[in-house]
Amino acid sequence: MGEEERKGPLAGLKVIEMAGLGPVPLAALILSEMGASVLRIDRLKASPSFLNLPPEFDLDRHGRDTLRIDLKAPEGIALMHDLATGADVLIEGFRPGVMERLTLGPEEMLATNPGLVYGRMTGFGQEGPLARRAGHDLTYLALTGMLHAIGPRDGKPVPPLNLVADYGGGTMFLIAGVLAALFERSRSGRGQVVDAAMIDGASTLGTLPYALLAAGLWRDRRGSNLLDSGAPFYDTYPTADGKHVAVACLEPQFFAEFAALLPLDDRFVAAQYDPRLWPEMRSAIAERLAARTRDEWWEIFAETDACVAPVLSMKEAPEHPHNVARGTFRHESRLVRGAPAPRFSRTPSAPAGPPDPAAQSNPLPPVLQAFGIASARAEALARSGLIAG
C-alpha cells in the first residue's frame, strides 16, 4: 500500500521488522493495519517457515513489503544502517546477542539514528539465567504460575493455545512499549530500547490472581477459585447435543437472573458464594443444562443479562449475528480472520492483505525510497545480488 493511501493513526510511521515467527510478526501486522509502513527484512537465503502457509493465509507477511538482504556481507549491514536512518521503529525477536553479532544491536543502530525506537521481543528477556534458552508460549507461561492455574481441578494444566504468553504477554506488550517510547520521543527527541519479554508480560497479565492470592482470596490449586472453573457459576457445561454453553454470572444480580431462567433453587441464590454449597450447585446446574441443546439454551438466555453464551466453534463464530453486525471477522476469499482492532473514530485502521504479485515485479526502488535509499543505489544492489524482493 502506498504512503498516500495510508489513513490510520500511525500513517507516516516507518517500521523495520526483522523476519521471524510469533509475537513480532503479529505486532508488525497490527502496526501496519494502524497505518504504519512496515518493511520486513529477511535473510537473502531464508529457510522456509515450518508452517509453510500459502501467501493468502500467511498473515506474517500481510500488509508489508519484504526485502531480503545478505546480512553476511558488509554492504548488507551498511544498507541496514541506512534503512534505520529513515526508520522510526525497529522490532526484532531473536535470541539475545544475535543482532549484536550482526553489528545491528541497539548500540550501533541508535548511534546511526538516535531517534530510533528499538523494540526487542524475547521469551525470557535480555538477561537472566534462561535468557539464551529456546522456548515457546507454553514454556514461558509455565514459569509464571499462570499455566498451573489453567485447567480442571482434577486434571492437568491446559495450554490456552498460544494466546497468553506469545500474543498477550508478547505482542501486546511490545506494541505498548513501542508506542510509549514514541510518545516519550515526541518530547525528548530521543529513541530508546524496549525490552519486551513474554515471561514478563504474561506475569503482568496475572496481576489479579496474584493479588487475590496475597489477600487470601485465591487457593493455589487449579480449579478451586472464582475464575478458574472452581465456581459453578463460572464454567462451561455440556448440553443435550454434546455441545457446550459458557456460564459466567459472577455478580449476584446476574446469577439471580440465571437461576430464575434455568431454573435453580432459591437457596443457591441466597448462598451463591458459599463454597460448601458449590458441589451441589454444580450438579444442579449441570443436570438442568444437559436437558436442552446448546442453541435452545441460547434462545432462552440471548436477551438477558444472565451472562450465558454458546461455546461456538471457529467455523461458527464468524457467522454469529453479533459478530456479523459488528464486522468482528473479515472474510477474504477462503481466509476468515479477525478485523483490525481497536477501532478509531477519525483515522480508521485498514485490513492488511497479501503482497500484490503485480506490484512485486520491480518492488525494490519504491520500497527502499520510502526509507531514504536512492533508486539508483537500490537497482545497483539488486543487480549485485545483495538484495532481493
Could you give the residue numbers annotated as active site? 136, 166
122 φ, ψ to 5°? -135, 170
Report the 10 Å Cβ neighbour count for 223. Answer: 17
Q: Which H/E stretch holds residue 382?
A: helix 375-384
Among 334, 367, 339, 370, CA closest to 352: 339
Angle, vertex CA 27, rays to CA 387 and CA 54, nearest 5: 60
| CA–CA gap between residue 328 and residue 62 (Å, rounded) | 19
Positive or negative: CA dihedral 343, 344, 348, 352: negative
208 φ, ψ to 5°? -65, -50
SS3 192: strand
Cα first-last separation, the chain: 15
Crossing angle, helix 375-384 and helix 74-85, to 10 degrees? 150
Among 72, 9, 62, 68, CA closest to 38: 62
Among 335, 341, 387, CA closest to 365: 387
Residue in the structure block whose three cell numbers are 525494490: 364
| CA–CA gap between residue 91 and residue 32 (Å, rounded) | 13
| CA–CA gap between residue 189 and residue 272 (Å, rounded) | 55
Report the 10 Å Cβ neighbour count for 208. Answer: 10
Among 263, 258, 253, 268, CA closest to 309: 258
Query: Which residues does residue 282 pair with via DSSP β-bridges, in sequence order?
Result: none
C-alpha cell read off for 200: 514478563
What are the percentages of helix, strand and coil residues in the chain, rounded to 5?
A: 40, 15, 45
Give the number of C-alpha atoms closer than 13 A to the C-alpha of residue 78, restricted to the C-beta side: 7
